[in-house]
Structure 1
């Protein structure tokens, strides 16, 4: 990737031009972004991967957020200051899309995908330093919020991800460091899992972007 042409991405001996340069601004073409995401998805996840037409509206929001198109995001009700919480039923493609959209902006710092169960397993092994670790200034997307097991360290239970989210909220308020996430749960289920205080902070941390309840399981 040439930093002077971040809209042109090379993959497997082919180049994808995601838009045009106008001065120091990139005018992105959404259809060309989708073409690239389809190709990149096949490289990452195998030849069976595809971009589904019914996901176009979700992708439009995610892509405009990722390229930081302020005016389009404002029309869509998406706040660029907040992170993304992508929700939807099991198998609808949440994790794959959050892994993918990082690649359309190689000139921006990418977030790291972290399965929530891994955070809990680390807590069970080394304790509260895990919460401090994920409450640092790095950029994360926590995958599968709400379905991780309860943490347990030296006989004491801990809602590990709930504590991590409270730490991430402090980072957001004080330093504008964003956090992303994916979840299969709805708002009420998240509140039952994490409590009212964490759910309240999540409203401030995240833009909620959701698949329809009837979205197909793409793993079948």
Structure 2
């Protein structure tokens, strides 16, 4: 049987904890070591795990490895998706791209820029909404700053409609269909952008994990 506590990158084996044949007891420092290595492979040698992000990483890792005890302590529901919020350049997108790799046996999610969804609607119309209202797992990147949707003169808040579709899916499937997102906006800005109905659905769809609003821009 494959050992989910071990991951091989570039011929080197990394251990994320101990596997007893049934479950993995994860070791957080070992996960961080692996994320540092994988991050450099994905994003280049300048990538690194920042000390000030350890609290966020602990929450995210606890969610992805389904550590119920830690998730309960952080008030994270493992059936919901993640809404990762924080200022521009704090590393939200990189972390959501990266964290998929610590759980290679779990169903992966696709990273989809929200602007691509809006452009898709402007080109193809409502088929775009239907396409994302399917049973795939997605992480919608940069929620709230996508351009307005317009198709044959009809304006539409495209991502708002996609989130409503994803919410219906989440409610009506036995094995919860996961939706994740990243955003630079705070709760009030999201409500202003999408309205109260979508915002209330988002509370049921997502766990909110937020960087400190003073988090620096790591791209500088």
Secondary structure class of the residue paired with 1:207: strand
Residues 1-220 of structure 1 aligned to structure 2 (within 5 Å):
4-175=2-173, 176-220=176-220
Point out the more displaced range, 8-17 or 39-48. 8-17
TM-score (norm 1): 0.98
> Distance in 2 between the 1:210 and 1:75 partners?
16
Report the CA distance between 1:23 and its aligned residue: 3.3
**CA deviations over 1:82-102 (Å, ceiling 9, x no partner):** 100000000000000000000
Q: Is the 8 A contact 2:4 2:19 kept in 1?
A: no
Could you list the runs of 4 or more consecutive aligned residues of structure 1 that deviate by over 6 angstroms after TM superposition? Answer: none
Aligned-residue RMSD, C-alpha: 0.7
**What SS does the corresponding residue of 1:86 show, helix, strand or coil?**
strand
Where in structure 2 are there 5+ consecutive unaligned residues? none
Report the Cα distance in structure 1 between the residues aligned to 2:45 and 2:11, rounded to whole angstroms: 17
TM, length-normalised to structure 2: 0.98
Unaligned runs of 5+ in 1: none
Measure, in 2, the Cα distance between the counterparts of 1:140 and 1:156.
26
